[in-house]
Structure 1
């Protein structure tokens, strides 16, 4: 892995904290030049400083097309052409679908889905011109599973998977790899106060390792843990009534189990009407 990443330029969105931070640190340690973009630009620069000389931080609002374009231009000016992009930026509101504030719904769709669309529209043509590149997006197991209490979040992540399926077909033969990393619940601020269901709680480093493995051996759909994708494909063959029973055991009901107090600080950042 170290030899593969030596001198390669990696850009990471939402890279100041959580999965993005762990991924940036891991890839930098493997020899990559890592550019961290985050809505909190100061946090991005602090994280880059903590990682070391091979990392640099920038301001980035993934929901703003011009901000994303400026981020990519700055990275290419300072570090060189981007070989790998890791889309890590994401937000989640948890609760009953009818109780979700409009601001939370819009924020999730803007960050989780539109941010990815911006990244692909802006960067894939540049990679296509060079005949090589890899765009990896941290989605969620909610991209494929029914997740009560996370309706809009799931919609955004289903949208990411659907969008990238279509773009992947358009890019066939171009030399560009697209990958969707779909973890179960990860121990980050985004998941505070939520339940895990049948899967064990993941750490950000588990997802970072999955990203590194996928860079070394590109695949399109990657679930973390890997058995989730296998189990879902099997369950999908069952009649709907039996499928519902099995999935209810696998997937937590966040409407019934969410700890609103534990989520108030995190969700308060983007639920102001």
Structure 2
């Protein structure tokens, strides 16, 4: 551990698995105290047991009233300080639009867009008076490319990419940095909804990224000099372009 984030307090949503867990491990390994937010209590207990500075917080972000309590509960666990917030929780809906379940569309758009906006809003209200803080959002390559096999998911990420960039321009005056990481396909549970033939093709061609590789990028973003903002990193396996 190099201790690049020693003394910092961070919170990550969707932290019990995938990119969220990789992000948490990376920040913990750099010395940060990390609040891991997830709705899966058992998974949180399992992963947090590995690190002394990991603090589990069970919240269902799709529950409107519970979502409102997120930042106050985080601050209770960190002693009133939050330096880093990683909005990572998300859902995936792939395939043809006409085959998509309308209820699944509502849940995905709520978590991928509305919840991120509300969480970031509440985080800014804490960070802005302190004149420092970092907000990171997990976006997707789908935010930059009209992906034909996932129009619903891609639309949510186009929306959140716009949100990240416009919010960043609002709050830089308060000393806050807002950025996103936009990975291509990452080996996480979200890929379970991919069309079977597309997933098999990606695995065979080496067109998937590991979550730990995304976490390394997040640490890079967080450890730049305060006068530098990495506003968006688009990362994908080279073979994805084949």
- The TM-score with structure 2 as length reference comes to 0.88
Q: String of CA shifts for 1:60-88, please: whole Å, max 9, x gaps.
A: 22234432332322221121311001111
- Residue 202 of structure 1: CA displacement? 0.3
**Corresponding residue of 1:260:** none
Aligned: 1:203 with 2:210? yes
**Corresponding residue of 1:58:** 57
**Corresponding residue of 1:220:** 231
Alignment of 1:233-252 (within 5 A): 250=241
For the residue of structure 2 that corresponds to 1:214, the secondary structure is helix
Task: Name structure 1 gaps, 5 residues minimum.
Answer: 229-248, 252-273
Q: String of CA shifts for 1:14-44, please: whole Å, max 9, x gaps.
A: 0001110111011101100010001213322
Counterpart Cα distance in 1 of 2:25 and 2:94 = 29
For the residue of structure 2 that corresponds to 1:173, the secondary structure is helix
Counterpart Cα distance in 2 of 1:134 and 1:96 = 36
Contact 1:180 1:222 in 2 (8 A): yes
Alignment of 1:73-92 (within 5 A): 73-80=72-79, 81-92=81-92
Deviates more, 1:210-219 or 1:59-68: 59-68
Deviates more, 1:35-44 or 1:203-212: 35-44
In angstroms, what is the RMSD of aligned CA positions?
2.2
Counterpart Cα distance in 1 of 2:150 and 2:213 = 22
- Residue 226 of structure 1: CA displacement? 9.1
* CA gap 1:41/1:214 in 2 versus in 1, 3 angstroms: same
Aligned: 1:28 with 2:28? yes
- Residue 250 of structure 1: CA displacement? 3.7
Contact 2:207 2:238 in 1 (8 A): no
Alignment of 1:8-157 (within 5 A): 8-50=8-50, 52-80=51-79, 81-157=81-157
Deviates more, 1:199-208 or 1:84-93: 199-208
Counterpart Cα distance in 1 of 2:206 and 2:152 = 22
Counterpart Cα distance in 2 of 1:182 and 1:147 = 14
Q: Which of these two proteins has the greater Rg computed from alpha carbons?
A: 1
Deviates more, 1:80-89 or 1:55-64: 55-64
- Residue 200 of structure 1: CA displacement? 2.5
- Residue 94 of structure 1: CA displacement? 1.5
Contact 1:65 1:118 in 2 (8 A): no
Counterpart Cα distance in 1 of 2:129 and 2:206 = 41
- Residue 191 of structure 1: CA displacement? 1.2
Counterpart Cα distance in 1 of 2:115 and 2:30 = 27
